[in-house]
């Protein structure tokens, strides 16, 4: 009898554990006449709405790396939505192709911001999301996208960027930023000019934005991406210490601004 009870308890535990998993799904949406395929992740063991984080991908597009970060956030109790900034879930692996796609988006800032705004709206509409507790994060091109979203005055509590270019906001855009901003930058990143960094910092300081700018010694571009060295570009290399420290700083930011369940 005791053996039966233990077995029953074990089965219950296994069933409960199996149900407490991160669920993912593709959400198709429209921006104008173009179709986009975003990626949603959440833990179905959590009941009711929880804080939401929109994730913006690197210049490669919505690839496995962006999805991995999205699932990592879901495992921590957030509902996360990886936006598709190019359309049809497209992603590439060659720097030339990535540069061309990112360049097309950057060339039309109004459309760039609109795509980011619609993605945030998609997240807010999910039943798992608390629309009063929102953050945006991004890597490389996606970090710039998160900033552009903040420049629209979006109702974000936090914004975090990782090895991102830092588009300079206008005075009005800087004043519209509502979020606390964390910038995780490679101190040796040759892709981001010091002039751009200085201009960015100055605009946010003038607008009294709560900015935490962290430059990691020895880190170059793409320091959070484990396989970034595959492109044989010394300016794009993984840095384990910077990756882990910047992720910990992100989690501290999210906990302080959004809380956890």
CA–CA distance, 41 with 20 (Å, rounded to integer): 13
List domains and CATH numbers for the chain. Answer: 22-257 (3.40.50.1820)
What are the tokens at 164? 């991102």
pLDDT by residue (tens digit) across 8-63? Answer: 444 444 444 444 589 999 999 999 999 999 999 999 999 999 999 999 999 999 99
Residues above pLDDT 70, as percent of the chain? 92
CA–CA distance, 64 with 66 (Å, rounded to integer): 6
pLDDT by residue (tens digit) across 201-240? Answer: 999 999 999 999 999 999 999 999 999 999 899 999 999 9
Report how far apart, in Å, the C-alpha atoms of 213 and of each of 60, 91, 142, 186, 189 are. 25, 29, 17, 11, 14
Q: How confident is the model at residue 106 (pLDDT cuts 50, 70, 90)?
A: very high
């Amino acid at each position: 009898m005791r053996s039966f009870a233990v077995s029953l308890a074990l089965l219950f535990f296994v069933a409960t554990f199996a149900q407490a998993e991160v669920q993912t799904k593709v959400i198709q949406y429209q921006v104008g006449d173009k179709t986009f395929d975003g990626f949603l992740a959440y833990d179905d063991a959590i009941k009711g709405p929880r804080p939401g984080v929109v994730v913006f991908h690197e210049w490669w597009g919505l690839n496995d790396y962006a999805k991995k970060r999205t699932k990592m956030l879901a495992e921590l109790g957030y509902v996360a939505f990886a936006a598709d900034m190019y359309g049809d879930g497209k992603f590439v692996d060659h720097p030339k192709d990535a540069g061309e796609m990112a360049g097309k988006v950057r060339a039309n800032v109004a459309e760039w911001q609109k795509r980011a705004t619609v993605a945030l709206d998609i997240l807010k509409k999910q039943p798992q999301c608390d629309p009063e507790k929102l953050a945006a994060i991004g890597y490389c091109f996606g970090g710039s996208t998160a900033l552009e979203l903040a420049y629209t005055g979006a109702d974000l509590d936090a914004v975090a960027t990782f090895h991102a270019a830092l588009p300079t906001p206008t005075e009005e855009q800087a004043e519209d930023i509502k979020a606390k901003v964390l910038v995780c930058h490679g101190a040796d990143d040759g892709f981001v000019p010091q002039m751009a960094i200085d201009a960015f910092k100055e605009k946010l300081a003038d607008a009294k934005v709560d900015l935490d700018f962290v430059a990691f010694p020895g880190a170059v571009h793409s320091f959070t991406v484990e396989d970034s060295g595959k492109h044989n570009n010394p300016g794009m290399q993984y840095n384990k210490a910077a990756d882990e420290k910047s992720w910990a700083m992100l989690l501290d930011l999210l906990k302080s601004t959004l809380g956890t369940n």
